[in-house]
Structure 1
Amino acid sequence: MAYINLLPWREAARKEKQQQYVTLLAATAVVSFLAFFLINMVYGARIEGQYQKNRYLENEIRVLDQRIAEIRTLNETKRSLQQRMTLIEQLQGSRNLGTQIMSEIASIVPSGVYLTQLEKKGNALLLIGKSESNNRLSTMLRDADDSALLSAPLLEFIEAGQDQTRLLSNFKMHLQVEGYEALQDATAQGGTQ
């Protein structure tokens, strides 16, 4: 039996092992390729999902930016309307200002003081007239100072009468109308809008 040649069997076993090795190597390569392909698909799907989320967020941000711009426009319109309403309320409140001024002047002018001229420029009043005595003018100044509508009385001059009525003194007085500045400011702001 020493003469039995086992080489073809060994050769066949080697070829079979080599074929198993190549098959195992090919299977490992296919499994590795499939695993790489699956991992690539999973991560690709995640990346695509994130891109979709980002696009959705960008679209929503654009929509919100448009809404914010609309809200700013509405706030400006609201502010403008509030200013107009305030102006209208002030105009309504001062609608009778001339009548109120005349009524207030009538209440501060004591008997014995006669007005010959009344001028109004802005919030300043100029009263020119005649007085029977300086005490009556002093009373008028105190009443004007205590008035809610009039303020800052200033007597510019008193001079003795030079015509046939020497008993009457001529005077010139300046007064300020309170609350007129607020009306003028509101009118100026309303006019610029």
Structure 2
Amino acid sequence: MFSPAASPTSSPVCSPVRSTSKASKISKQLTTQLDPDLLRAVSLDRALTGWGRHWETPDNGMFNVDPKNYDLSQPIESLDVFLSHDWASSGKQKFLSLLIVYNSRAAFLACLVISVLVGVLRGYRVLPDEGWTVVIGHGSYLLVFLFWQRLRTLVCRPLMVFLDKLCVAQHNEELKQKGIEGIAAFLLSSRQLMVLLTPRGPL
């Protein structure tokens, strides 16, 4: 009599072998080396332009990207952040999430400084002691929250990020395949990994 563990047809014994074989096959297709011209990044302020238009998926999940969008990215030796996400999820939600992560701290500090300054100016009668002056602080928060990445480029270098839609060629199948197979190279060249997690899970 054979026990289930000893049975040659037992699925618990066979399944791991198939999974390992499949994973090994996929890993062989990936590479940690990529042509310097294909290792590209886009500045975060450009990735956030158009109120999140670069985060929306056209044509039911199929990329139909203007080749000019590829020119928004540039060859680079290292990236600041690798952005991982799910294309089937809401682009607006991802856009808002990135604003919260990367802009909210600067917006809070700007609002704090401006609000204190407004209070001092009201105390010295430079500004009228009226309620509408409070809006100045709120307005500064909104302004910095929406445009901080663009504002910071005036004083320091922009954050360079990986966004597959802009950093992997979508208009050329050969370049696209090389970019997909070189995802590991993008990851290894990134200082941080940002996963935009949704109920569907990250990409």
TM-score normalised by length of structure 2: 0.26
Structure with a larger share of its residues in strand: 1
Structure with a larger share of its residues in helix: 1
TM-score normalised by length of structure 1: 0.27
- Larger radius of gyration between Structure 1 and Structure 2: 1
